Amino acid sequence: MDGKCSFLSVLNFAGSALSSQVLEKYENIDIPVLLKLMTRDFKLQLVKLERNTCIVEHMLRFAIHAYKNTRNFYIPPRSGVDTKKQDRDFMFSLAQRLGVSSLKLFLNKWEKIFNCNDIRDLVSMFDTQIREAASIPEEVVELIMQALGSYMSHGEECCELMAFFQPGEDSYKQAFNKVMENFSTFNMNTLFQIARRHWEHKVKLRDTVDRETFALIEKALQRLSHINSVKLEHIDWMFEVCTSGSETSKEIMKCSKFQNMMTAVIEFAKSSPEIILRILHNAEKVSGLLKHLHTLCKLLIKAYLHYFDKRFSDCGHGAYGTVINEMHRARLECKHYLKNGEKEFDVEVVLVIRNMHSTKKKLMKMLDVEFKI
């Protein structure tokens, strides 16, 4: 099969039933080299064939089949190497020619060829069609549900997928439940973002004791160890939500929302000093509240130990100075929130770090100079 005599050129592509039957047979081929050659031929013939919807649909079916079996099914051209993005864009271009109904062809097959970012891009390609439809097309709903329920990692692209549904709709409830069931594959920031949108809708309904939102907040905190960077604006929002409706420190301490938040933070954020600090900073804004959070203040010391142990385990000699400067700032935070916080930091963090990393001679000398214990 070369440019002079392609397997497509021997057929009369005028919408004949024979053409469709032949293309259906091609979907059963599983020889990688042959699949690549045939897909290249599709690409070369696309301009001639794009007006025939039936043929384009079969081309997309075949492209999905080919990519699933070869992962990178283009033969590199002489001028360079085709990329996976070009593979994806080829399938997207076929889908775009067919319209939103083409999404049904990806159902139960997309996980072997795409990730959730790809599904976001694919569905978004039909944004106007979807939003202008009287009701959201079934294939859109099903594809998004499959994406949210997959075992792949889920990032903030899932918030864009959920944006196709409006809170209060059955499809939104179904999507929210998918997230709750599959939360262990979502990152913390994404779960917080979904929780915030859910809460905003509940506030409009004056439902300020929404258990679903707080259940998702707790699940978000459970995912803390699986993320490199927490958006602290989410922690500010969590504190605001969990103290809403209470004006005094006594009212806040009695509030079940706040109690549940504190329980979750103590359990899941015990190794994250930045989250603990953020909550303490927010608590300072409420008169008298900080004195009730002694447990959280003590937890800050342990969180710093975990944090600095990891920092010194991961960094090289050249970064010791940077980490020690962080320790000085952490020591001041402990002094601010705890009586004798500096001494506690020296004993429970600095001395323990010395014991845990005693073989690092350069670090030991620097700690001796920086911390006179």
User: pLDDT tens across 343-370, in order?
Assistant: 999 999 999 999 999 999 999 999 999 9
Average pLDDT in the chain: 85
Query: Residues 213-235: pLDDT tens digits?
Result: 999 999 999 998 777 788 999 99
Please tell me the predicted confidence (pLDDT) of residue 71: 63
Please tell me the predicted confidence (pLDDT) of residue 42: 65
Please tell me the predicted confidence (pLDDT) of residue 12: 45
The angle that helices 32-49 and 53-70 make with each other, rounded to 10 degrees, is 150
Please tell me the predicted confidence (pLDDT) of residue 88: 84
Query: Residues 245-285: pLDDT tens digits?
Result: 888 999 999 999 899 999 999 999 999 999 999 999 999 99
- Scored b (16 or more CB within 10 A) or e, 258-271 reads bebbbebbeebbbb
- The HSE-up count of residue 318 (CA atoms within 13 Å, CB side) is 0
Average pLDDT over residues 239-246: 90
Please tell me the predicted confidence (pLDDT) of residue 195: 95
Residue 104: DSSP 8-state: G
Give me the residue spans of the domains in the chain: 1-98, 107-182, 187-292, 312-373
Maximum alpha-carbon separation in the chain:
88
Query: Residues 317-330: pLDDT tens digits?
Result: 999 999 999 999 99
> What distance in Å separates the CA atoms of residue 175 and residue 183, rounded to the nearest whole number?
12
> What distance in Å separates the CA atoms of residue 127 and residue 115, rounded to the nearest whole number?
19
- pLDDT for residue 67 is more than 70: yes
Please tell me the predicted confidence (pLDDT) of residue 57: 85
In one-letter notation, the amino acid at residue 48 is K
The angle that helices 294-314 and 320-337 make with each other, rounded to 10 degrees, is 180
- pLDDT for residue 7 is more than 80: no
3-state secondary structure 272-330: CHHHHHHHHHHHCCCCCCHHHCHHHHHHHHHHHHHHHHHHHHHCCHHHHHHHHHHHHHH
- pLDDT for residue 5 is more than 50: no
- Dihedral angle sign, alpha carbons of residues 167, 170, 172, 174: positive
> What distance in Å separates the CA atoms of residue 9 and residue 3, rounded to the nearest whole number?
9
Residue 154: phi and psi, rounded to 5, are -115, 125
Confidence of residue 8 (pLDDT cuts 50, 70, 90): low
Please tell me the predicted confidence (pLDDT) of residue 21: 58
Average pLDDT over residues 29-54: 61
Residue 79: DSSP 8-state: T
Confidence of residue 208 (pLDDT cuts 50, 70, 90): low
Please tell me the predicted confidence (pLDDT) of residue 83: 58
CA angle 203, 208, 214 (to 5 degrees): 105
Residue 360: DSSP 8-state: -
Residue 94: phi and psi, rounded to 5, are -65, -45
Please tell me the predicted confidence (pLDDT) of residue 39: 60
Confidence of residue 305 (pLDDT cuts 50, 70, 90): very high
Confidence of residue 100 (pLDDT cuts 50, 70, 90): very high
- Reported residue count of the chain is 373
> What distance in Å separates the CA atoms of residue 51 and residue 185, rounded to the nearest whole number?
41
Give the distance from CA 254 to its chain's centroid.
Answer: 34
Calculate what percentage of the chain has a pLDDT beyond 90.
Answer: 64
Confidence of residue 3 (pLDDT cuts 50, 70, 90): very low
Please tell me the predicted confidence (pLDDT) of residue 207: 61
Average pLDDT over residues 115-132: 94
